[in-house]
């Protein structure tokens, strides 16, 4: 089984949470070596920029990425956040390898909108490196930075990146570990199973907004492009990865 795990930056900001997830990923990797991780780091990025007096501006949930911001993207996403996570995974007994979408043209992008600066939309994925690493029991840990064949570097939405890679890799399961327990309906209750037409209704009626709207769209894309199952689940749930793998109905599962 190929499993892609997307870790939200909020879960990685706390050392105890990071260590817990690393231990769980080590256990998962022992039974399922075809596992890869994509991570964000928006909270850490905002803090880094604030400390330097650089404002964070967003358009449709995407951070406007000037050359100053892109310098921070490389330092924070591909630097601090990636390497702190890799270090925690190594401490948990894993042979983890830190990557970004730039490496091996893993994630090729085009500009989303010139007004957003260097924000990229994934258009191609070269996932051979994932198979190569997983075959030898290395765990790929991928920061949400992309590139193109002309040498440009892009800030990439981590959900979009995880979806693009999971689709190209033909992952059986894409897990979004985040800071909410799942998708909520109009009544505020968690929806255990969500099909495509129901997700579209949540979008069309404005019930899903912000980060959840982005995840719904990402889940739809993944299912339409070869991913077997997509699930959004609270990453702070104790033993979350083992419980999902055992079939427990945590979070929200997306199906066609």
40-49: pLDDT as tens digits: 998 999 999 9
Task: Say if residues 142 and 129 touch (Cβ distance below 8 Å).
Answer: no
* Burial class for 187, CB neighbours closer than 10 Å (0-12, 13-18, 19+): exposed
29-40: pLDDT as tens digits: 999 999 999 999
- Where in the sequence is the domain holding 231, given as residue range(s)? 3-255
Q: Coil, helix or strand for 230?
A: strand
Q: What's residue 26's pLDDT?
A: 96
Residue 206 Ramachandran class (φ > 0 left, ψ -120 to 50 alpha, else beta): left
Tell me what the mean pLDDT of segment 216-244 comes to. Answer: 92
Tell me what the mean pLDDT of segment 110-126 comes to. Answer: 95
Q: What's residue 216's pLDDT?
A: 85
Tell me what the mean pLDDT of segment 151-158 comes to. Answer: 95
Total domains in the chain come to 1
Pair of tokens at residue 132: 């190569």
DSSP notation for 30-60: HH---EEEEE--HHHHHHHHHHTT----EET
Q: Residue 61 belongs to a domain with what CATH number?
A: 3.40.1160.10
b/e map 91-111, b = 16+ CB within 10 Å: ebebebbbbbbbbebbbbbee
155-205: pLDDT as tens digits: 999 999 999 999 999 999 999 999 888 888 888 889 999 988 888 888 888
Tell me what the mean pLDDT of segment 116-136 comes to. Answer: 96
With a cut of 80, say whether residue 90 has pLDDT above it. Answer: yes
With a cut of 80, say whether residue 210 has pLDDT above it. Answer: no
- What's the predicted TM-score (pTM) here? 0.94
With a cut of 80, say whether residue 60 has pLDDT above it. Answer: no
Tell me what the mean pLDDT of segment 214-229 comes to. Answer: 88
């Amino acid at each position: 089984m190929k499993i892609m795990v997307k870790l939200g930056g909020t879960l990685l900001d706390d050392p105890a949470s990071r260590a817990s997830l690393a231990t769980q990923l080590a256990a998962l990797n022992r039974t399922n070596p075809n596992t890869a991780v994509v991570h964000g780091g928006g909270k850490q990025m905002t803090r880094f920029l604030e400390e330097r007096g650089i404002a964070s501006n967003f358009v449709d949930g995407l951070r406007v990425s000037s050359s100053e911001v892109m310098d921070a993207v490389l330092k924070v996403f591909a630097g601090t956040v990636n390497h702190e996570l890799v270090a925690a995974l190594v401490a948990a007994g894993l042979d983890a390898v830190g990557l970004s979408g730039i490496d091996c043209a893993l994630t090729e992008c085009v500009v989303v909108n010139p007004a957003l600066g260097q924000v990229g939309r994934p258009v191609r994925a070269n996932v051979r490196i994932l198979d190569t690493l997983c075959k030898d029991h290395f765990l790929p840990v991928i920061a949400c930075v992309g590139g193109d064949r002309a040498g440009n570097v892009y800030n990439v939405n981590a959900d979009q990146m995880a979806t693009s890679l999971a689709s190209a890799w033909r992952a059986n399961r894409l897990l979004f570990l985040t800071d909410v327990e799942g998708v909520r309906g109009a009544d505020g209750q968690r929806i255990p199973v969500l099909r495509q037409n129901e997700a579209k209704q949540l979008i069309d009626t404005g019930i899903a907004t912000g980060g959840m709207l982005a995840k719904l769209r990402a889940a739809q894309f993944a299912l339409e492009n070869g991913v077997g199952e997509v699930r959004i689940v609270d990453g702070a749930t104790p033993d979350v990865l083992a419980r999902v793998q055992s079939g427990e109905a945590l979070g929200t599962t997306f199906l066609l």
